Amino acid sequence: MDMVWVVAIGAIAAGLVQGISGFGFGMVAMSIWAWVIDPQLAAVLAVFGALLGQIIAAVTVRRGFDIRVLLPFVLGGLVGVPLGTWLLPQLDVHWFKALLGGFLVLFCPIMLYSSRLPRLSKRPRWVDALTGLIGGVMGGLGGMTGTVPTLWCTWAGMPKELQRAVIQNFNLTMLMVTMLTYAATGLVSRDVWPLFAVVAPAMLIPSLLGARLYKGLSEQRFKQLVLGLLTVSGITLLVAAVPKLLA
């Protein structure tokens, strides 16, 4: 299949997911693009699409946020983004995908189906910062800023509206920093711009549709959707990575 069509299909699927859940563009897009696109190019496209999706979400799904809740995530993420950008050219991408995919496939269903997980009476601020740092690293590796912070917010029992606000604003900040870092380090080359022109229109309508669907979700349905999407993303990462590792 022509690379342009693969880029468009990945952007459509990822735009819909991000519109509904407030995150996940990088996870979904990378799981599709990884089959035919160079990892560094896929990372730049994923960050661009995720950033555009967050800008759309900021307009269509406006939610207030508490700066005291958001700040530890952002401070941790600002440390993580340069580290992830530095790791990108050196990382064994297949091992990264396999480990992340395995973690999601094992952990998300446990959170989804088990009612016996301990409930946190207090959410430590340093854990917020740590998950923000990990999100920043994963953002530098390919726009996957929201995965680990979303898992943490879900486990901590954060209400739907607050979780959406935190993840949406965290992602927007981290993706802006990541894109600026990519541009400063020369990863955004002239060859990328034509593919930006494919990603932007392909993900626009699905993102808007996803944002409309989000508004009708209950707390429980939102949790089920988020964890289900993370599980599917983990499966697709394993499918993409394991055959390469075995070969």
Residue 201 has pLDDT above 90, yes or no: yes
State the pLDDT at residue 126.
Answer: 92
User: What's the Cα-to-Cα distance from 45 to each of 110, 188, 189, 194, 195, rounded to whole Å?
Assistant: 32, 9, 11, 11, 8
Distance CA 27, CA 8 (A): 15
State the pLDDT at residue 118.
Answer: 64
For 211-221, the pLDDT digits (tens) are 787 777 776 77
State the pLDDT at residue 63.
Answer: 58
Residue 10 has pLDDT above 70, yes or no: yes
Residue 133 has pLDDT above 70, yes or no: yes
The pair of structure tokens assigned to 174 is: 């981290």
For 59-73, the pLDDT digits (tens) are 665 556 678 888 999
State the pLDDT at residue 139.
Answer: 83
Q: How confident is the model at residue 99 (pLDDT cuts 50, 70, 90)?
A: confident
Supply φ then ψ for residue 7, to 5 degrees: -60, -45
pLDDT (mean) for 161-188: 86
Amino acid identity of residue 138, one-letter, is: M
pTM listed for this prediction: 0.75
Whether 46 and 188 have beta carbons less than 8 Å apart is answered as: no
The pair of structure tokens assigned to 84 is: 């992830």
Best CA proximity match to 17, nearest among 235, 233, 236: 233
State the pLDDT at residue 117.
Answer: 59
pLDDT (mean) for 142-170: 81
Map tokens 């509904």 to a residue.
20
